[in-house]
Amino acid sequence: MSKLEEMKISNHNLSELEKDLALNGEVESTEDIVTEELAIHFGPQHPSAHGVFHAIFHVKGEVVTKIEPDIGYLHRCFEKIAENRTYTQFIPYTDRMDYVASMTNNWAYCMAVEKLAGIEVPERAEYIRVIVGELQRIASHLVFLSTAGSEAGALTPFVYFFDEREGILTLYEKICGARLTYNYIRIGGVRADAPEGWLDDTLAFVTRLKKRMYDYDRLVLGNYIFKKRFIGVAPFSAEQALDWGLTGPPLRSTGVSYDVRRSDPYSVYPRLEFDVVVKYKGDNYDRACIRSDEIKQSIRIIEQAIEQIPEGPVKADGIAKVFKPAAGEGYGHVESPKGDLGFYVVSDGTTKPYRVKIQGPSFGNLQALPAMSEGTYIGDVVLTLGTLDPVFGEVDR
Amino acid sequence: MSDENIMNQGNSEEISAGIKIVEEKGIGYTLTVEREDLFKAASALKEAGFDLFLFVSGIDYPESIKLTYRVYSSKRQNKLAVMLKTEVPKSDPTVDSLVPLWSAANWHERETYDLYGVIFKGHPDLRRIFLPQDWVGYPLRKDYSDDHMTVMDDGKKDKDKAAAKDKPAAAAPKESAEKQDAPEQPSDIADANEVSTNGSDKNE
């Protein structure tokens, strides 16, 4: 219905324009002007596409009537590759899926293999996983906030958020030597214990970030133009969100409290206090705000984890580089910054997985883009795409 | 997972008449149905409050393709997610589409069609999703091969060597003339012991 109304509005504007043109003598009669539906190609190489995304926007005036997404430009056959690698060899490939949040990819895959093979992870390793996983959530959401701002024209916050993210990447570099593709979480634990002073550095970092989040909220989410562009745009109801299979922040912004950390508790999350952030309007602004609030919850979690972390080993004993889990199936999933990230691993008793299915939240979330943004203005589609926060390494896999 | 394994698990619940979910090691609650009953079982799950479709995965076996769906419930208090399993024969890989129940199944079924060749009856737009529309074959099937594939040598070096020796001498030049970019060597491959091209000499 809203689509029709929008059309009427745009037609109304057009007739105003027609009158102007007619008055200037450029057009003989206004009947000659008709609104024609245009097909505009967006991408595959487009700076606002967050990766290689191709879509055809059908527009009538300024209003988008239909979107035809076309994905697959970054398809790298990870599921096929997995069948030709040993269980351990596949971990680095998971880094390359959602490359903004590699740590949670490692985690989900290792968890699936651990469930398959029945491996117990030592407690200290679980705490380290929680700390690095939550740092990853903060880093990913900082990238979201910076790009969301820049898409609405606010380029300055970009610099602040990337500076903060740099702090997290430095912490990662200290703990595992890599800044983006970590390969740090391993089957049965983590690769190495945190170096001396790392936990103190992390605590200092989150304490500083906690203070600054207040300013950052005002800088982006409180900005007048940002609010004008985001509030009320492309709202989604809970029914629609569930029907379209959204997970993660886009689903929680519609009032559905689905967070894997609470719904299917893993690791040491049951011992940690935090709130699942839920918003109710489901528009672009809620989808943006929810990420900022999740950063604050992640900071809470990290503070508690650092306080509770016990001494001990960080890797389960007796896990060889090449091992043969008994034939069976394992499904592990975590709440990644993008949503419910799952790995479904099937073993036939050999050293290599028989099948690895990757359930990428970006894939599921992107699917809702047409339903979400048809009927909105073309200038807002990029914002809506941004608030779904897809990473195409994970969409195409 | 074999039937005995399912039977051995104690924890189960009857969702509706004849639809019973049982707990299975490693993956949680499971419901296994014949493919004719898939839509009925899925409808029962939806009725019971499983309102979020998460994925469908194919698994290739010599005679059949197994399908595993995962659905989640935002309404129920416990047993929140179910793996719904079915199996289609390779001779007739068709199954009912679940798009009428969950719009989210759309892309997931397209993905399974693209990579496994499973035909989802009633799907509104069953096209390839990752690969080009004119692609031939279904890459995640175990018997798939094409000229671009490289596979890891997994200790079958001796077998490869034997295969290279068995190959008639006249066949090798002909083949390398056909494929200009293919590495021209049956013997180098066996020596390199890490990577061998699937197209040239690894086909059984």
Q: Which of A85, A96, A78, A347 has the alpha carbon at shortest distance from B140?
A: A78
Q: What is the ipTM of this complex?
A: 0.83
pLDDT over 70, % of chain B: 67
pLDDT over 90, % of chain A: 32
Look over chain B and give the mean of its residue pLDDT values, rounded to a whole number: 74
CA distance B169 to chain A (A): 30
CA closest to A332 among chain B residues: B27
pLDDT at B196: 40
Between B179 and A148, residue with greater pLDDT: A148
d(CA A179, CA A168): 9
Sign, CA dihedral B164-B170-B176-B178, equals: negative
Provide the token pair at A99: 């490359």
pLDDT at B151: 60
pLDDT at A306: 92
- Residue A180, pLDDT above cutoff 60: yes
Q: Which of A387, A235, A255, A366 has the alpha carbon at shortest distance from B74?
A: A255
Q: Chains A and B: how many Cβ contacts under 8 Å?
A: 102
Q: How confident is the model at residue A140 (pLDDT cuts 50, 70, 90)?
A: very high
User: What pLDDT, in 10s, does the model give residues B122-154?
Assistant: 889 888 899 888 888 888 888 888 777 766 555
Asked if the C-beta of B54 comes within 8 angstroms of chain A's C-beta atoms, the answer is: yes
Asked if the C-beta of B119 comes within 8 angstroms of chain A's C-beta atoms, the answer is: no
B81:A72 CB<8 A: no
The string of DSSP codes covering B103-156 is TTHHHHHHHHHHHH--EEET-TT---SSS-TT--S-TTSTT---TT-EEE--S-
pLDDT at A15: 60
User: What pLDDT, in 10s, does the model give residues A305-358?
Assistant: 999 999 888 888 878 788 888 888 889 999 999 999 999 999 988 888 999 999
Q: How confident is the model at residue A20 (pLDDT cuts 50, 70, 90)?
A: low
pLDDT at B162: 54
d(CA A144, CA A133): 16
- Residue A34, pLDDT above cutoff 80: no
Give the C-alpha distances (Å, rounded to integers) separating A192 from A103, A126, A197, A316: 14, 13, 14, 12
Q: How confident is the model at residue A26 (pLDDT cuts 50, 70, 90)?
A: low
pLDDT at A11: 53
Domains with residue ranges and CATH for chain A: 2-70 (no CATH), 78-396 (1.10.645.10)
Q: Which of A296, A286, A294 has the alpha carbon at shortest distance from A238?
A: A286
Can you tell me the mean pLDDT for A2-16?
A: 56
CA closest to B78 among chain A residues: A263
What are the residues whose beta carbons fall under 8 Å from the beta carbon of B191, sequence distance 6 or more? none
User: What pLDDT, in 10s, does the model give residues B53-92?
Assistant: 999 999 999 889 999 999 998 887 777 888 888 999 988 8
A242:B74 CB<8 A: yes
A72:B57 CB<8 A: no
What are the residues whose beta carbons fall under 8 Å from the beta carbon of A278, sequence distance 6 or more? A252, A253, A255, A256, A257, A290
pLDDT at A321: 81
d(CA B74, CA B78): 10
Domains with residue ranges and CATH for chain B: 3-121 (3.30.460.80), 150-202 (no CATH)
Q: How confident is the model at residue A32 (pLDDT cuts 50, 70, 90)?
A: low
Query: How many C-beta neighbours within 10 Å does residue A200 have?
Result: 10
Between B7 and A373, residue with greater pLDDT: A373
| CA-atom Rg of chain A in angstroms | 23
- Residue A131, pLDDT above cutoff 90: yes
- Residue B203, pLDDT above cutoff 70: no
A258:B72 CB<8 A: yes
Can you tell me the mean pLDDT for B184-199?
A: 42
Residues of chain B with C-beta less than 8 angstroms from the C-beta of A371: 103
Provide the token pair at B131: 């690969």
Q: Decide: A369 and A69 in contact? Cβ < 8 Å.
A: yes
Q: How confident is the model at residue B197 (pLDDT cuts 50, 70, 90)?
A: very low
Strand ranges (E), chain B: 12-16, 19-24, 28-32, 52-60, 64-72, 81-89, 94-96, 119-121, 150-152, 195-197
Interface residues of chain A, partner chain B, Cβ below 8 Å: 71-72, 75, 77, 79-80, 83-85, 115-116, 238, 242-245, 247, 251, 256-258, 263-264, 328-331, 340, 342, 344, 346, 351-352, 354-355, 357, 359, 363-364, 367, 371, 396
Provide the token pair at A210: 């906690």
Can you tell me the mean pLDDT for A34-40?
A: 82
A153-157, A210-214, B53-57: the lowest-pLDDT one: A153-157
pLDDT over 70, % of chain A: 92
Look over chain A and give the mean of its residue pLDDT values, rounded to a whole number: 86
Between A110 and A15, residue with greater pLDDT: A110
pLDDT at A249: 92
Between A11 and A397, residue with greater pLDDT: A397
Q: Which of B44, B27, B60 has the alpha carbon at shortest distance from B143?
A: B60
Q: Decide: A235 and A368 in contact? Cβ < 8 Å.
A: no
Asked if the C-beta of B156 comes within 8 angstroms of chain A's C-beta atoms, the answer is: no
Asked if the C-beta of B151 comes within 8 angstroms of chain A's C-beta atoms, the answer is: yes
Is 0.90 topped by the overall pTM? no
Q: Decide: B60 and B67 in contact? Cβ < 8 Å.
A: no
Residues of chain B with C-beta less than 8 angstroms from the C-beta of A263: 72, 80
CA closest to A325 among chain B residues: B26
pLDDT at A393: 87
Helices (H) and strands (E) in chain A, counts: 16, 10
- Residue A192, pLDDT above cutoff 60: yes
Can you tell me the mean pLDDT for A227-240?
A: 88
